[in-house]
Structure 1
Amino acid sequence: MDIYLKKAVMHLIDREVGDPVYSQVELDLTNDYIREYLTKKIQKISSAQTKTGTLAPASPVAEMLPKVAKDFIAFSELLVGHWYQVYKESEEAPNSDVFVVLYEEDAKEQLAWFRVKYKEEYTHFTEMVDQGLLNKLILNRAILGGKTQKADEGITINLTNLTYELVEMKQVFSGEKRFYFSTEVIESVPLPSLDENIRVIKKVAKKMSEKFETPTFDVLANVQEAVFETIEDSGYLDTTEIAEKVFKENISAKLAFQEEVAEKGVHTQAPLVKEVKEISEKKFGKQKLKLSNGIELIVPLEVYRNPDLIEFINNPDGTLSVTIKNVEDIVNKL
């Protein structure tokens, strides 16, 4: 992801003060640490938990977007103010800093909005008192999460086609915890995240394995491998291809699987986040196995399917044996 930052501003959300404290000046993007912080936060909006969608042209946020180029600061206040009218109604929504960033990614103009809540950390403070220089330990209640941490909420919007990537968090409204950003801020119904889709696919696959008397262990292992391969090949979650890879010649299981995942909202070839291949490689490129005797294994997929390196044996008594082969060295990592 090649990001070129153009404009950025930070506004403060202190619930005790009331309305947001709006900055009237942009952040200085000539500072390396500011550019790095903003870039990392934007990059981390793309994850397995990210939802995708397209803004309706008549939605309030979409109608604001043309103002970005005319007056960035004024636009940022308008956007944050629109969001805050919903956010402030939550009983427990925390104090935060909110960032609005205009940037280019692969020569396409994008807008990012993200929120980073405060946390408490200790630091030092030096002051002169009657007795001399005093180094004090103080508690700072407005520390932001580091650059490697994800923003608590965030959205990136392609300003050309209005597609977006969204990470939203549930907040408490009238005693009920619910998502609010998609329904009330951008007024859009996003597609499920990669994680949400995978949970449905695994649950349905397990159900099919029990219904058609296929070993659940093999089915779930095949699901993970099939998910990884379809994303690597096409960049999509192709449920038809997953069904073929998991259930093979069992036509009834394949059809039942596809029908149920579709009913539960998993759409074949549904668009996913831009970085889906990189995310898939980290998340699904290895089989993580926990055996009933307490042993845990992390096995790369290319090793998992190689009988010369690892073998799973069905014993006559119904138990499984796992044989690890041709190991040249063992490193003990404490």
Structure 2
Amino acid sequence: MDIYLKKAVLHLIDREAGDPVFSQVELDLTAEYIREYLIKKIVKLSNAQTKTGTLVEDSKISRMLSMAQEQFIDFSEQFVGHWYQFYKDSEDAPNCDVFVVLYEEDAQTHVAFIKANYKEAYTHFTELDDQGLLNKLILNRAILSGKTQKPDEGITIQLAERSYELIEKKYTFSGDKRFYFSQDVIESVPLPSLDENINVIKKVAKKLSDKFETPTYDVLANIQEAVFETIEESGYIDTQEIAEKVFKDNVSAKLAFQEEIIEKGFVEQTQMVKEVKEISEKKFSKQKLKLSNGIELIVPVEVYRNPDLIEFVNNPDGTLSVMIKNIEEIQNRL
């Protein structure tokens, strides 16, 4: 994924001070550390918690986008001002900095809204007084997250098609926690994130494992493997294929699985985050098992299904044994 930054600006959100402090000058994108920070933040906006969708054509944000390229500073102020009129009403939304970025990716123009909450951190400060040079320890309450950390909230919007990728958080409004960004700011109902859909699948699979008397650990392991394989093959979650892989010849279980995931909120989707295969590789390519005796295992999918390398044995007393085979070397990583 090649990202070419065209314009960027930083606006400050100090709720105690009142309205946002708008910068009238763009960030200097010739500075490598600024480019690196913004590019990594944009990349981090695409992850397993990212929701996707397309803006409604007559929404306020959608209408603003026509200004993004020719009147970038004005556009950024209007975008942030529109967002802030909702954000300021929250009882617990923190102070933060907001980056607005215009960039190209794969020859398509995008804008990004990146929110970075303030964190407390200690640093030094040097001053000269009557007694000499003094090195002091000070507490800075406006430190931003590092470049490798995902944004606290943010959205990227492809200008031509108005498609977006969104990370949003729940904040408290009049005593109730809710997602304000999709509902109020962009006036859109996004598709569930990859994690939200996977959680629905896991809950339904666990319920069915109890109903059809199948070991839960085995069903969940099959689910994870099937999710990984279908995303690798097609780029999206194919629930019919997952049902076939997990429940095989059990027609009743397959039908119940398909019906219940829809009932519990799973949404079939073809529009997924751009990096879905890379995300799937990191998240689902290894089985993570925690045994009742405290042992934890991380097993690659290809190893999990190889009886020459690992085997799960049902003991006569109802317990399980895990046999790990053909080990050539053991390393202790402290």
TM-score normalised by structure 2 residue count: 0.98
Q: Could you say which residue in structure 1 is the equivalent of 2:158?
A: 158
Distance 1:51 1:298 in 2: 28
Q: Could you say which residue in structure 2 is the equivalent of 1:301?
A: 301
Q: Could you say which residue in structure 1 is the equivalent of 2:225?
A: 225
Distance 1:91 1:293 in 2: 44
Q: How much has 1:114 moved relative to structure 2?
A: 1.1
For 2:226, the aligned partner's letter is A
Bigger shift: 205-214 or 231-240?
205-214
Q: Could you say which residue in structure 1 is the equivalent of 2:71?
A: 71
Secondary structure of 1:273's partner?
A: coil
For 1:319, the aligned partner's letter is T
Q: Could you say which residue in structure 2 is the equivalent of 1:120?
A: 120
Q: Could you say which residue in structure 2 is the equivalent of 1:6?
A: 6
Q: Could you say which residue in structure 2 is the equivalent of 1:103?
A: 103
Corresponding position: 1:171 with 2:171: yes
For 1:286, the aligned partner's letter is K
Q: Could you say which residue in structure 1 is the equivalent of 2:286?
A: 286
Runs of 4+ in 1 over 2 A off after TM superposition: 267-271
Question: CA-to-partner distance for each residue in 1:212-241, whole Å, 9 max, x for gaps?
Answer: 222222111100000000000011011111
Distance 2:29 2:206 in 1: 50
TM-score normalised by structure 1 residue count: 0.98
Task: Check whether the contact 2:191–2:269 (CA below 8 A) recurs between aligned residues.
Answer: no
Q: How much has 1:264 moved relative to structure 2?
A: 2.1
Question: CA-to-partner distance for each residue in 1:310-333, whole Å, 9 max, x for gaps?
Answer: 111112222111111111100001
Bigger shift: 127-136 or 44-53?
127-136
For 2:253, the aligned partner's letter is A
Secondary structure of 1:127's partner?
A: strand
Gaps of 5+ in 2: none
Q: Could you say which residue in structure 2 is the equivalent of 1:255?
A: 255
Q: Could you say which residue in structure 2 is the equivalent of 1:133?
A: 133
For 1:138, the aligned partner's letter is I
Distance 1:103 1:241 in 2: 37
Question: CA-to-partner distance for each residue in 1:289-313, whole Å, 9 max, x for gaps?
Answer: 1111111100000100111111111
Q: How much has 1:97 moved relative to structure 2?
A: 0.4
Task: Check whether the contact 1:240–1:268 (CA below 8 A) recurs between aligned residues.
Answer: no
Bigger shift: 279-288 or 312-321?
312-321
Secondary structure of 2:139's partner?
A: strand
Distance 1:30 1:297 in 2: 46
Gaps of 5+ in 1: none
Task: Check whether the contact 2:192–2:267 (CA below 8 A) recurs between aligned residues.
Answer: no
Secondary structure of 1:266's partner?
A: coil
Q: Could you say which residue in structure 2 is the equivalent of 1:80?
A: 80
Task: Check whether the contact 1:239–1:267 (CA below 8 A) recurs between aligned residues.
Answer: no
**Aligned-pair Cα RMSD in Å:** 0.9
Distance 2:315 2:19 in 1: 67
Distance 2:139 2:262 in 1: 51
Secondary structure of 1:69's partner?
A: coil
Percentage of matched positions with identical amino acids: 76
Give the 5 Å matches for 1:141-152.
141-152=141-152
- The verdict on how the C-alpha distance between 1:269 and 1:16 changes in structure 2, with shifts beyond 3 A counting, is closer
Q: How much has 1:269 moved relative to structure 2?
A: 4.2
Distance 1:135 1:223 in 2: 57
